[in-house]
Structure 1
Amino acid sequence: MTHDHDLVLRPTDEQMTAALNPPPGRNGGDLVVETLAGLGATTVFGLPGQHALGMFDALRGSDLRYVGLRLENNAGFAADAYGRITGEAAPLLLSTGPGALMSLAALQEAAAASAPVLAISSQIPVAGLGGGRHGYLHELPDQASSFRGVVKSVHTVRTQSQIPSAIAAAWQSALTAPHGPVWVEIPQDVLLAETSIPVVTGVDATPEELPPRPELTAVAADALMKADRPVIVAGGGVVRADASRKLRQLAEKLSVPVVTTFGGKGAFPWNHPLSLRSWLEDRHTTDFLEDADVLLVIGSGLGELSSNHHTFQPRGRVIQIEADAGKLESNHPALGIHADARLALQALLETVGTREDDTAPARVRELLDRVGKRIAAQELTLEQDVLASVRRALPPRAPSFWDMTILSYWAWSAFDARHPNTMHSAQGAGGLGYAFPAALGAAAADPTYPVLAVSGDGGALYSVAELATARQYDLNVTWLIVDDGGYGILREYMTDAFGQATGTELSRPDFVALAESFGVPGVRTSPGALEGDLAKALATPGPSVVVLPAVLRMFAPTHLGPDSCS
């Protein structure tokens, strides 16, 4: 039997001629670059190293754009953001041993946030593989084992003929739901040796689809139609699947209130009559979710932050749609539907009827009013004013990237992201130093809009070297640094728990002068001047730094039980 795809796989006359007459002087590094270009990559991130020089030299003769950062972890954060913004797999080129290991924290964040990153590392020569002690520079007994617990898949190459297939398989893995980081490692001698393998022209790496099982969709649709008080929890999987419009259509068709997790910011319109917003660390919201007779969770594992620190105990039926099978029913019994959020929402839209509930908007308003009164009673005007100033200064479609700092914790709950896929933070894995290098990656992905990065002074010190990157590539990123003299949130945690803080106070540079020493304009602002200074910096092409000296406080925790909500 002849199939149509058999005809597609036949080389054209032009491909035959090119294959039989490969240009001289190519090596394994060229195969890497040719494969990436064949897969559709346009930009790569990374940091060169001795064993990886074959890949980096190959970039010189290619059309791929290279963005080099000053630290492998920061290069990983930049690739993470590029993947989030574009939905494409972001190539990350690394060297062996220390260079490879330096990327682990960034890859952990990419895994937690389902960001597609294609990390390609060099390795020691083939003769040294297998766990021996050969004394090669950067040698690890088993480099791949350091990454197996972090990335989606690991691919080790031993010959040049394996390079295109390994990279294509990794690309497919990175972009198959749930998206995530993948790891390819190629020995130094394989990268450097001259090759007679034809130029890579045809690479097929179509991501696998993950549709819901129809019998599960039928059960979920029936439960939603019969529910009295259904609620939807929309997580980061909705954003990654580009399913925000379908989420809104379903919520409106069923008259169901929607709360977005911190990873799902922007998945549902903030000011929609059915929007519960994102006050997940609030007992009033937790009570509202617990009272639902059917809770539809889409693209979230209901982890620590999404479950109000595991105090959430649903009393109704939970339906969980999740692309990561390991997260299905990992925290609560549910009707688990292993599926991509977009395909599952489409299936539900085609299955459910229209459900009328005139009381839903009123119940939403009542909840938000209770949350607002609780926050207002804590006299946190400075914090709310600073966050509001950032929102007014930031153009509606401009992306923002937030480090693990007090203002970011406020933003998780209280910031209107305005549009899907525009607000990103390191809350997946919780590492410091994410915001600025991630913002650089986003600016490389889309120069149409300015990009905002928000850090505390502690997190900023992880990333100051990337001021050189911002200037070198003239990336359109404004970096807001909230300077409170230390690790502010840890100071609060320790003071609350132990009566005083230890190890949280920091000597730090004059960030404005430091930025200017890199050729990046900087300004020291105040809460009252923040909106204007930030808006001016965002409107000015190229990188800039805005420093806000301020000690911000968190709103009171509300995950300790109902008595703590007053």
Structure 2
Amino acid sequence: MTHDHDLVLRPTEAQKAAALAPPPGRTGGDLVVETLRGLGATTVFGLPGQHALALFDAVGRSDLRLVGLRTENNAGFAADAYGRMTGEAVPLLLSTGPGALMALPALAEAAAASAPVLAISSQVPVAGLGGGRRGHLHELRDQSASFRDVVKSVHSVRTPSQIPSVIAEAWESALSAPHGPVFVEIPADVLQAETVIPQVTGVDATPHELAPRPELTALAAHWLENATRPVIIAGGGVVRSDAAGKLKQLAERLNAPVVTTFGGKGAFPWAHPLSLQSWLEDRHMTDFLEDADVLLVVGSGLGELSSNYHTFFPTGRVVQIEADLGKLESNHAGLGIHADARLALQALLETVSERADPTAPERVRLVLADIAARLAGQDLAQEQQLLTSIRTALPARSPSFWDMTVLSYWAWSAFDPKHPNTMHSAQGAGGLGYAFPAALGACVAEPDTPVLAVSGDGGAMYSVAELATARQHDLDVTWLIVDDGGYGILREYGCTTGTQLAGPDFVALAESFGVPASTTAPESLTADLRKALATPGPSVLVLPATLRMFAPTHL
């Protein structure tokens, strides 16, 4: 009798020949590159450093495309966006110590947004590991420890023969639900040493599927189809698992209103009769959600922003579908279903019966009208008009990336993304400088699509070096910088200390990089954006404006 575990994959004749006659001069760095190519990687991000030179030399000998940015953190943001756009694991190549540590904020954002980034860092030579006392350049006592609380998993290589297996293991981790960044470290001497190990020709890293338990979806379906006022909160997990179509089917079958979280923008059609849009920072919406007798939360942990700063307290039953076990029932007790959003929604669609409710669209219309009336009394026409101008100018399929700035806070609630996976922001971890380098990563992922980045002047200063990257690679990005002379969103919180900033002439600065730039105004923004987006290559628009947030309704 033959058992599945007895089956062994036999090498092909081509694989035998390659194993017996490897090209001369191959190193551990080549083993990394061969493994990445075998797993399907075509593009890598990063920048070289002394300990990682053997890895970058190997990339140069390969057909991998290297997109080199000017700082490691920006390279991490670019890789994050590439992963969000493609759903693929994205190699981010780093050097030891300071180079690796520079990427931590970007990896924290990738972790919060479940972006599959495969960070591969060099490390000091094997003999110097573990003590932090050998005096190696860039030496840390425990480099991996700096990443362990940030990334999804940490993987260490100590010999060349471990490289293919460790990278495949990390790749699988990054792409198994919930997606996330992972960290691999390889000592410099392991990367540099010539190897007799055959070329990597057979490597597999199939992600694990996370299916729901049937007894849980059966109970959830029973509650939903018998509910009087069901409501759905759709989070980023719906977008990441490509489940927007299944969400729409379920909502229509149940006649259940849907609100999307800020990370779930685009998970449900903005103008649909059941769409509550994204007004989560509004007490009218909070009251509406609290009134639901069954609340289905899909792909969200109901964190600070999604719960109106933890002022949301559901009164009915809660069903939470979440791939991240740590977020399951972490904020609200309920029926927790540990599963990928797409698989769980499919299971509900196969189980739930149609529920008639002709009143649902009218209830949606009324709560949105209450929100509009509240805004109308706050003299915020300029802020709303700017979002309208951007939406009018931006092609429906073009991705947009938003930094932590006043206009982005508006966009979380009020911007129509048109399609799933087309609007992204740094609201996961909340770090500055995300928008522009992330937009560059999206340009690499979708080279025939114009991409928009929106920053404030404060956040823009984190990213100005990447104007050189945009020009060098001729990336089709338009960067809108809203210049209010400092950290405007912090001033909106009432802070005046350290929030007023001296800044450059952004137009002249961009032009010094060879990037076309001009100043725009609210009344000309639509036309200026259309022109910039329609012109191939990078461009910058600077909008001098001081914007206000809508009055907080969570206090």
- CA positional deviation for 1:112: 0.2
Match of 2:399 in 1: 399
Match of 1:248 in 2: 248
- Return the match for 1:507 from 492, 502, 508: 502
* Letter in structure 2 aligned against 1:234: A
- CA positional deviation for 1:317: 0.5
- CA positional deviation for 1:2: 3.0
Native 8 Å contact 1:471 1:520 kept in 2: yes
Match of 1:63 in 2: 63
CA distance in 2, matches of 1:148, 1:526: 45
CA distance in 1, matches of 2:238, 2:5: 33
- CA positional deviation for 1:120: 0.1
Native 8 Å contact 1:235 1:299 kept in 2: yes
- CA positional deviation for 1:219: 0.6
Match of 1:563 in 2: none
Secondary structure of 2:542 counterpart: strand
Match of 1:409 in 2: 409
Match of 1:116 in 2: 116
- CA positional deviation for 1:21: 1.2
- CA positional deviation for 1:68: 0.2
Match of 1:77 in 2: 77
**1:296-375 → structure 2 map (5 Å cutoff):** 296-375=296-375
- CA positional deviation for 1:17: 1.1
* Letter in structure 1 aligned against 2:549: M
**1:113-262 → structure 2 map (5 Å cutoff):** 113-262=113-262
Go from structure 1 to structure 2 and tell me whether the alpha carbon gap of 1:8 and 1:519 turns closer, same or farther (over 3 Å shift). farther
* Letter in structure 2 aligned against 1:312: F
Match of 1:539 in 2: 534
* Letter in structure 1 aligned against 2:226: K
* Letter in structure 1 aligned against 2:408: S
Tell me whether 1:552 sits opposite 2:554 in the alignment. no
| Ranges in structure 1 where 5+ consecutive residues have no aligned partner | 496-500, 561-566
- CA positional deviation for 1:491: 1.0
Match of 2:295 in 1: 295
Match of 1:39 in 2: 39
CA distance in 2, matches of 1:264, 1:446: 21
Secondary structure of 1:337 counterpart: strand
CA distance in 1, matches of 2:200, 2:537: 36
| Ranges in structure 2 where 5+ consecutive residues have no aligned partner | none
- CA positional deviation for 1:492: 1.5
Secondary structure of 2:417 counterpart: coil
CA distance in 1, matches of 2:482, 2:420: 25
- CA positional deviation for 1:3: 5.3
Match of 1:528 in 2: 523
- CA positional deviation for 1:6: 6.4
CA distance in 2, matches of 1:74, 1:152: 20
Match of 2:97 in 1: 97
Match of 2:14 in 1: 14
Native 8 Å contact 1:265 1:423 kept in 2: yes
Go from structure 1 to structure 2 and tell me whether the alpha carbon gap of 1:5 and 1:38 turns closer, same or farther (over 3 Å shift). farther
**1:262-277 → structure 2 map (5 Å cutoff):** 262-277=262-277
CA distance in 2, matches of 1:310, 1:458: 28
Go from structure 1 to structure 2 and tell me whether the alpha carbon gap of 1:541 and 1:8 turns closer, same or farther (over 3 Å shift). farther
- CA positional deviation for 1:379: 1.0
CA distance in 2, matches of 1:127, 1:5: 38
* Letter in structure 2 aligned against 1:485: G
Tell me whether 1:518 sits opposite 2:513 in the alignment. yes
- CA positional deviation for 1:202: 1.1
CA distance in 1, matches of 2:254, 2:295: 13
Match of 1:498 in 2: none
CA distance in 2, matches of 1:211, 1:410: 36
Secondary structure of 2:526 counterpart: helix
Secondary structure of 1:143 counterpart: coil
* Letter in structure 2 aligned against 1:551: T
Match of 1:433 in 2: 433
1:194-222 deviations in Å (ceiling 9; x for gaps) = 00101111111000000000000111000
Native 8 Å contact 1:290 1:313 kept in 2: yes
CA distance in 1, matches of 2:445, 2:237: 21
* Letter in structure 2 aligned against 1:253: R
Secondary structure of 2:185 counterpart: strand
TM-score of the pair, normalised by structure 2:
0.99
Native 8 Å contact 2:122 2:185 kept in 1: yes
1:444-492 deviations in Å (ceiling 9; x for gaps) = 0111210000000000000000000000000110000000000001011
Go from structure 1 to structure 2 and tell me whether the alpha carbon gap of 1:543 and 1:8 turns closer, same or farther (over 3 Å shift). farther
1:503-554 deviations in Å (ceiling 9; x for gaps) = 0000100000000000000010000011100110000000000000000100
Secondary structure of 1:217 counterpart: helix
* Letter in structure 2 aligned against 1:515: A
Native 8 Å contact 2:31 2:164 kept in 1: yes
Secondary structure of 2:350 counterpart: helix
Native 8 Å contact 2:132 2:139 kept in 1: no
Native 8 Å contact 1:266 1:420 kept in 2: yes
Match of 1:447 in 2: 447
- Counting aligned pairs with the same residue, the percent is 79
CA distance in 2, matches of 1:259, 1:194: 56
1:81-110 deviations in Å (ceiling 9; x for gaps) = 000000000100000000000000000000
- CA positional deviation for 1:7: 6.0
CA distance in 1, matches of 2:405, 2:140: 35
- CA positional deviation for 1:494: 2.1
CA RMSD of aligned residues (A): 0.9
CA distance in 2, matches of 1:87, 1:132: 37
Secondary structure of 1:287 counterpart: helix
**1:489-504 → structure 2 map (5 Å cutoff):** 489-495=489-495, 501-504=496-499
Native 8 Å contact 1:232 1:298 kept in 2: yes
- CA positional deviation for 1:130: 1.4
CA distance in 1, matches of 2:551, 2:327: 29
* Letter in structure 2 aligned against 1:536: K
CA distance in 1, matches of 2:27, 2:63: 17
CA distance in 2, matches of 1:417, 1:449: 15
- CA positional deviation for 1:20: 1.3
The size of the alignment, in residue pairs, is 555
Secondary structure of 1:147 counterpart: helix
1:401-455 deviations in Å (ceiling 9; x for gaps) = 0000000000000000000000000000000000000000000011121000000
CA distance in 1, matches of 2:61, 2:144: 29
Native 8 Å contact 1:494 1:502 kept in 2: no
CA distance in 1, matches of 2:252, 2:354: 9
**1:483-494 → structure 2 map (5 Å cutoff):** 483-494=483-494
TM-score of the pair, normalised by structure 1:
0.97
CA distance in 2, matches of 1:168, 1:280: 40
- CA positional deviation for 1:132: 3.6
